[in-house]
Chain A
């Protein structure tokens, strides 16, 4: 951990003073189109979502399951570009007073140029990035640029991570740690059991950053399970599934039911 706290970490800590468990949601920019993305974000913020991951679509989303994979492909098919994603993100950060992060794959940063990508994030008010195919060993340029811009590089803990690995990831992270509740890709079933509780307490022991938990979180019961064990619950694929099956109108009732 660095000797400074990022704006992201500070706002998470401030929000946690008022709430036991924060809610982070995930959308794919440009899915099903940019207007809908904007409306979904608006509904989510009004429903009380505390922070959001904005995924810049990529043609090869290796770590994502079928739901997000399809959303990436459809966003690209309907003309999503990195430039439009940046414009959209800027519009969102100006309009809504919650922290926004980018989630995307490394090639998107690499093709923009890492310094350029990071300084653009900084200038449009993006507070952190999650890049699931960029382990710290491959990402020194990215980590340096993020630190210099005082943005948060968020890394992932998994049930396969040893305590040593967790500490190493922690040293390279800011903002929060994203802990995946199970093996596999996004959007599959997770069982919320004692094993998960044990794993989360191992995560907790190996970072002092706020802890977010994602992969398979989708119900009020899941949220209750996580309260007291983590700082942030991440709803990823399930929001996109709701969007896919019920349209933009379905998102608000879904979030309302989770936080009620």
Chain B
């Protein structure tokens, strides 16, 4: 009996019968690729010529001084093509899709980063591409939708349920159960049925492998603490996996605290105690659900962390206490982002800014002999509308009003 893909009690493959053979095929293709050293070589080659690997680490000189305490380093996943770590997973799965001889890819997306990355990969590899995105996210991430469509992807706004990431995942599965013969589902995070959590973590492990070497080379020692934001958990799994064997390195996952503990409006599955163990979207993990097992609405200023579940591997690492989970509220996140933009000229995505917020909170308590590392999983260009609102920028507002008026004039003049 096939019952693999468990991390203590978490994970599994709770899939509809129609997909059983598709998952068997995917698992075999993945395991063959893993066993084939030329596959990883091809992957690294692709990422260094098409994206920007190895991405550098940057020391935050000004903020390290200003905050006092630990020296703060940042792993620059924002420098990937398409602006986030999502590219790592997507290009890897693209190579796998080609290996399996499939011609079409589908994906879910929350913030839109994974959707853009998938559309990019599809354009490069010549695949047909459909992206499922919650209607709520389509509304708040128009720039990403624009680029996906420019790259030839069909973007489907999902208006079921809470109209966010989980609903997009359900809809992508509904597509896949119909079209599995020629279609690969490029799941964007380290969640979902086995082998996705393991496979996505494997592609993302390129972050941690590079970062560990770079920190040693740069500072001569391993970082004391390593921070990553956690939505589904793929950027965290990617960075953390470089340090799993280094017991002295503390790993900190930072979830979306939204409007705070006890508000009921957040997406902190592990840091707060509102989540319970359940099974949905094909896997077992901690979910924000009610007593009956119905999924609850979540909230975060960042579309990419606004998710009811979390990687089963991270649930396991939470239970074994290998990873410490914290949450940062919307307010703290926007402040941390503004501070980083202003003092360092880096523009972390709202998702990544959760990790910055927590690191800024802890750095001053540490010694100036200590180094810490933050994963800057993506850049914030896509967040410009949300950020402009959050910082109440009057000039931005004026610009949009003028732009709208100009469009309106154009339309009424035919």
CB within 8 Å of B: which residues of A? 58-63, 65, 69-70, 73, 76, 81-82, 105-108, 110-112, 132-138, 155-162, 165, 169, 180, 183-185, 188
* Interface residues contributed by chain B, number (CB under 8 Å): 36
B276 contact set on A, CB distance < 8 A: 111
B281 close to A60 (CB less than 8 A): yes
B317 at the interface (CB under 8 A from A): no
B54 at the interface (CB under 8 A from A): no
Q: Known: A81-B292, A138-B13. Contact between A183 and B282, CB under 8 A?
A: no
CB distance from B230 to the nearest CB of A (A): 20
B20 close to A160 (CB less than 8 A): yes
A136 interface neighbour in B1, B160, B177, Cβ under 8 Å: B1
A137 close to B22 (CB less than 8 A): no
A61 to B294, CA, bound (A): 10
A155 close to B17 (CB less than 8 A): yes
CB distance from B182 to the nearest CB of A (A): 12
Tell which of B12, B284, B294 has the most Cβ of chain A within 10 Å: B294
Q: Residue on B with the closest CB to A158?
A: B18
Q: Which 4 A-B pairs have the closest CB atoms?
A: A111-B293, A184-B178, A107-B293, A59-B294
CB distance from B20 to the nearest CB of A (A): 6
A132 close to B1 (CB less than 8 A): no
CB distance from A11 to the nearest CB of B (A): 25
B2 close to A111 (CB less than 8 A): no
A76 contact set on B, CB distance < 8 A: 294
CB distance from A130 to the nearest CB of B (A): 11
A61 to B170, CA, bound (A): 8
Q: Known: A59-B161, A62-B170, A108-B292. Contact between A160 and B15, CB under 8 A?
A: no
B13 interface neighbour in A58, A62, A135, A160, Cβ under 8 Å: A135
A183 to B21, CA, bound (A): 12
B13 contact set on A, CB distance < 8 A: 135, 137-138
A27 to B98, CA, bound (A): 42
Secondary structure at the A interface, as helix, strand, loop or mixed, is loop
A135 interface neighbour in B14, B180, B293, Cβ under 8 Å: B14
Tell which of B1, B20, B279, B293 has the most Cβ of chain A within 10 Å: B293
Would you give the 0/1 interface string for B292-303, flagging 1 where the beta carbon is closer than 8 Å to chain A? 111100000000
8 Å CB interface, B16-73 against A: 16-18, 20-22
B293 interface neighbour in A110, A138, A161, Cβ under 8 Å: A110
A133 contact set on B, CB distance < 8 A: 14-16, 279, 282
B406 at the interface (CB under 8 A from A): no
A107 close to B289 (CB less than 8 A): yes
A169 close to B17 (CB less than 8 A): yes
B21 close to A160 (CB less than 8 A): yes
CB distance from B158 to the nearest CB of A (A): 11
B14 close to A162 (CB less than 8 A): no
**13 extra interchain contacts, Cβ-Cβ under 8 A, other than A63-B16, A158-B18, A180-B17?**
A58-B294, A62-B173, A81-B292, A107-B289, A133-B15, A133-B16, A156-B18, A157-B17, A158-B17, A162-B21, A169-B17, A180-B18, A183-B18
A108 close to B17 (CB less than 8 A): no
User: How many contacts between A and B, using CB within 8 angstroms?
Assistant: 108
Q: Residue on A with the closest CB to B12?
A: A138
B280 at the interface (CB under 8 A from A): yes
A69 close to B279 (CB less than 8 A): no
- A–B Cβ pairs within 8 angstroms, 23 of them: A58-B294, A59-B161, A60-B166, A60-B295, A62-B16, A62-B174, A70-B160, A81-B292, A82-B292, A105-B280, A107-B279, A107-B280, A107-B293, A134-B14, A135-B13, A137-B1, A138-B3, A158-B17, A158-B18, A161-B17, A180-B18, A183-B178, A185-B174
Q: Residue on A with the closest CB to B18?
A: A158
A136 to B281, CA, bound (A): 17
B391 at the interface (CB under 8 A from A): no
B174 contact set on A, CB distance < 8 A: 62, 65, 184-185
B411 at the interface (CB under 8 A from A): no
B17 close to A132 (CB less than 8 A): yes
B278 close to A111 (CB less than 8 A): yes
CB distance from B169 to the nearest CB of A (A): 9
A185 to B281, CA, bound (A): 15
CB distance from B292 to the nearest CB of A (A): 5
B177 close to A185 (CB less than 8 A): yes
B21 contact set on A, CB distance < 8 A: 160-162, 165
B178 close to A135 (CB less than 8 A): no
A158 to B15, CA, bound (A): 13
8 Å CB interface, B309-326 against A: none
A62 contact set on B, CB distance < 8 A: 16, 170, 173-174, 281-282
A190 to B413, CA, bound (A): 48
Q: Residue on B with the closest CB to A64?
A: B174
A184 interface neighbour in B1, B20, B177, B281, Cβ under 8 Å: B177
Q: Residue on A with the closest CB to B284?
A: A110
A146 to B12, CA, bound (A): 21
CB distance from B244 to the nearest CB of A (A): 27
B178 contact set on A, CB distance < 8 A: 183-185, 188
A169 to B21, CA, bound (A): 14
A65 to B178, CA, bound (A): 11
A156 to B17, CA, bound (A): 6
B284 contact set on A, CB distance < 8 A: 110
A60 to B1, CA, bound (A): 26
Q: Residue on B with the closest CB to A168?
A: B1
B295 close to A59 (CB less than 8 A): yes
CB distance from B71 to the nearest CB of A (A): 44
Q: Residue on B with the closest CB to A132?
A: B16
Q: Known: A60-B170, A137-B1, A160-B22. Contact between A69 and B160, CB under 8 A?
A: yes
CB distance from A256 to the nearest CB of B (A): 32
A199 to B3, CA, bound (A): 28
A137 close to B293 (CB less than 8 A): no
